[in-house]
């Protein structure tokens, strides 16, 4: 039985008692029954809004999943071009020793010496010298 049906049932029970309409207790019972009915209606409306919001969140989640797939470097890593031209930033391939995830980092991130693996949150530390970077640029 739905809340609105229960509230209507209680109101019917109160009406069926044939209480004196001028009695204070009768007025209280009728006000309580009316309040229950209004609360049941509001709850039904809130449940509908909740269902609508859940549907919207599910839709957003699906859309976001599609965007995440487009941004996944593992899937598109082979298509990345490495260039040190002014308009494109040079990217370096770094493999996480913990999970094996291949990450692409900029020279600035490499200069920072530390990054967190987006897959497993392992802290990756970089130890290199500038000559090694220059040699890898010349090879490309």
- Spatial separation of the C-alpha atoms in residues 10 and 40, rounded to whole Å: 12
pLDDT at residue 47, as a whole number: 96
* Band (82; pLDDT cuts 50, 70, 90): very low
pTM: 0.44
pLDDT per position as a tens digit, 5-16: 999 999 999 999
Strand partners, 95: 102
CB 33 within 8 A of CB 4: no
pLDDT at residue 131, as a whole number: 56
- Compute the chain's Rg from CA coordinates: 33
Q: Which residue has better confidence, 121 or 70? A: 121
The distance from CA 45 to its chain's CA centroid, rounded to whole angstroms, is 24
- Spatial separation of the C-alpha atoms in residues 27 and 57, rounded to whole Å: 45
pLDDT at residue 81, as a whole number: 44
pLDDT at residue 138, as a whole number: 55
Task: Say if residue 28's pLDDT is above 80.
Answer: yes
Task: Say if residue 135's pLDDT is above 60.
Answer: no
């Amino acid at each position: 039985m739905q809340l609105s049906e229960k509230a209507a049932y209680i109101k019917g029970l109160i009406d069926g008692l044939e209480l004196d309409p001028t009695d204070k207790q009768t007025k209280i019972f009728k006000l309580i029954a009316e309040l229950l009915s209004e609360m049941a209606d509001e709850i039904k409306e809130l449940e509908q809004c909740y269902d609508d919001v859940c549907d919207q969140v599910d839709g957003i989640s699906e859309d976001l999943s599609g965007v995440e797939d487009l941004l996944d470097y593992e899937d598109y890593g082979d298509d990345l071009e490495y260039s040190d031209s002014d308009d494109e930033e040079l990217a370096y391939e770094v493999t996480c020793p913990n999970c094996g995830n291949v990450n692409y980092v900029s020279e600035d991130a490499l200069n920072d010496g530390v990054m967190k693996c987006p897959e497993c949150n392992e802290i990756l530390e970089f130890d290199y010298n500038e000559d090694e970077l220059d040699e890898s640029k010349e090879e490309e």
